[in-house]
Chains A and B, each alone.
Chain A
Amino acid sequence: MELELFSAAFFSALLAIVLIDLVLAGDNALIIGLVARNLPKDTQRSVIFWGTFGAIAIRALMAILVVYILDVPGFMLAGGIALVWIARKLLTPEENSAENHLVKGPATSFVGAIRTIVIADAVMGVDNVLAIGGAAHGSILLIVLGLAISVPIIVWGSQLVIKLVDRFPSVVLLGGAVLAWTGYSMVVREPLLGPWFEGHPATKLVAAVLIFSISLAPWYAARLSDQMKPLTVILPGVLVWMLAFEVAASVWKLQVDYLLATQTGEYILEAGRWLGWLPLVAGYLWVRERLELRRQHAAGG
């Protein structure tokens, strides 16, 4: 789908890309510094230049690839689900955030340093590129603009981004919400699921609430009391249960609409759909409480 230039849809997609670039920007400067710190001074300068160039090149290559990959049936759904996970990870506070797992230690050669920088950027940038690919709706211009925005952040803008999110942490929450929204739009745009969503329009709302309830769980879990915390599992679980019945009805041609049910089996199925999750939730709460008591007992003894 090509977006009309300078339309509300175009600027909205651009805004989503800017937000995604801000919250998913990786720390390339730190990686280059870690990798190049033991190299001679003149080699360090070359590593900084070629490392940055390699990082930008790999980002551009991945951005081009993601446009074509998202056109393959099934990948839009996979990308949408991946964005839900990325949004959740973004909102989950990280302990020991100063540690870097991508770089094991300083490089001993120029080629080794460049290889480490490029691989680290590819790993760090894959979520960014995927999210931009989803938000760009297949528009090459928006992908290029997304790159044009992320490259200065890679090269010069890290301190600015840190200052911005430190002053306004709500940008991170908004970024998580935009990632979830992009994930939802990718799931409903999946060509394999298009006809199914047309036949089951109400499931779009269930899918949206499911995606937001999973993606934003770290946020609302932080505001819930300990007694209410199981909601972060129960709410998505019940929505998955409801969706599963809709999917089963389509796959095995079952009647799950109580207004159209005529046989005893169909009424039982309907009862299972609306009440079957209750024993599961009770079981989950019981197991959770037992585990909590055991943990407290172990901590006390």
Chain B
Amino acid sequence: MLLIRHSQRANNAVRTTSGAGELFVASVVICMILASFGDAVDPALFGEAGLEFAIFDFGGEFTVLTMRHWHLIQLLLAGAAGAFGVFVLRVFAAGFIRILRPAGRRSIDKVPIGL
């Protein structure tokens, strides 16, 4: 029997993992699939089409085509960066949506705008 089965939380990890943990692992998995995508395309063909520079090139090293050479550490770091980016976006988007939401009738006089 595996040691992880002794822990109820680890045994049921697919349900008990926190949102942040899931976001991180999901980002790592996406990076792994992107790396296999870089491994699958013919660089010469992609270069000719000009798509790489149009879509994926963020400054040379961070292209899908170079991701084929990435190792696990790089994929984990990229996954962590991606997850952090999504987290920040979510916080900003939530704040933006909260501003757009109209105030309730009872708290209308608390809105600091003089009509």
Interface residues of A (CB under 8 A from B): 8-9, 11-13, 15-16, 23-27, 30, 90-91, 93-94, 97, 99-102, 124, 153, 158, 161-162, 165-166, 168-174, 177-178, 180-181, 184, 188, 201-205, 207-209, 212, 216, 218-219, 221-222
B72 near A12 (CB under 8 angstroms)? yes
What is the CA–CA distance of A180 and B32 in the complex, to the nearest angstrom? 10
Other-chain contact of B36, A8, A23, A208, A219 (Cβ < 8 Å): A208
Which stretch from B1-9, B53-61, B90-98 is at the chain A interface? B1-9
Enumerate chain A residues within 8 angstroms of B18, measured Cβ to Cβ. 170
Can you list 27 residue pairs at the A/B interface with Cβ under 8 Å?
A11-B73, A12-B72, A25-B4, A26-B2, A26-B3, A27-B3, A93-B11, A93-B12, A97-B6, A97-B11, A100-B1, A162-B3, A162-B7, A165-B9, A166-B9, A169-B7, A170-B22, A173-B13, A173-B25, A180-B29, A202-B40, A205-B33, A205-B39, A205-B40, A208-B32, A208-B33, A216-B29
A9 near B25 (CB under 8 angstroms)? no
A94 near B5 (CB under 8 angstroms)? yes
Enumerate chain A residues within 8 angstroms of B15, measured Cβ to Cβ. 93, 222
Enumerate chain A residues within 8 angstroms of B32, measured Cβ to Cβ. 177, 180-181, 184, 208, 212
Given contacts A27-B6, A201-B41, contact A8 B17 (CB under 8 A): no
Enumerate chain B residues within 8 angstroms of A162, measured Cβ to Cβ. 3-4, 6-7, 10
Q: How many pairs, one residue from A and one from B, have CB atoms within 8 Å of each other in the complex?
A: 147
Minimum Cβ distance to chain A for residue B72 (Å): 4
Known: A173-B22, A222-B14. 11 other contacts (CB 8 A): A8-B74, A15-B72, A166-B7, A168-B21, A169-B13, A169-B16, A172-B17, A173-B25, A174-B25, A212-B29, A212-B32
What is the CA–CA distance of A169 and B22 in the complex, to the nearest angstrom? 10
Enumerate chain B residues within 8 angstroms of A165, measured Cβ to Cβ. 3-4, 7, 9-10, 13
Given contacts A15-B73, A97-B5, A162-B3, contact A169 B17 (CB under 8 A): yes
Interface residues of B (CB under 8 A from A): 1-18, 21-22, 24-25, 28-29, 32-33, 36-37, 39-42, 71-76
Minimum Cβ distance to chain B for residue A132 (Å): 14
Enumerate chain B residues within 8 angstroms of A12, measured Cβ to Cβ. 71-74
Other-chain contact of B40, A181, A203, A221 (Cβ < 8 Å): A203
* Main secondary structure on A side of the interface with B: helix
Task: Identify the closest chain B residue to A203 (Cβ).
Answer: B40
A170 near B73 (CB under 8 angstroms)? no
Other-chain contact of A170, B1, B13, B74 (Cβ < 8 Å): B13
Enumerate chain A residues within 8 angstroms of B9, measured Cβ to Cβ. 165-166, 169
What is the CA–CA distance of A161 and B7 in the complex, to the nearest angstrom? 10
Enumerate chain A residues within 8 angstroms of B12, measured Cβ to Cβ. 93, 169
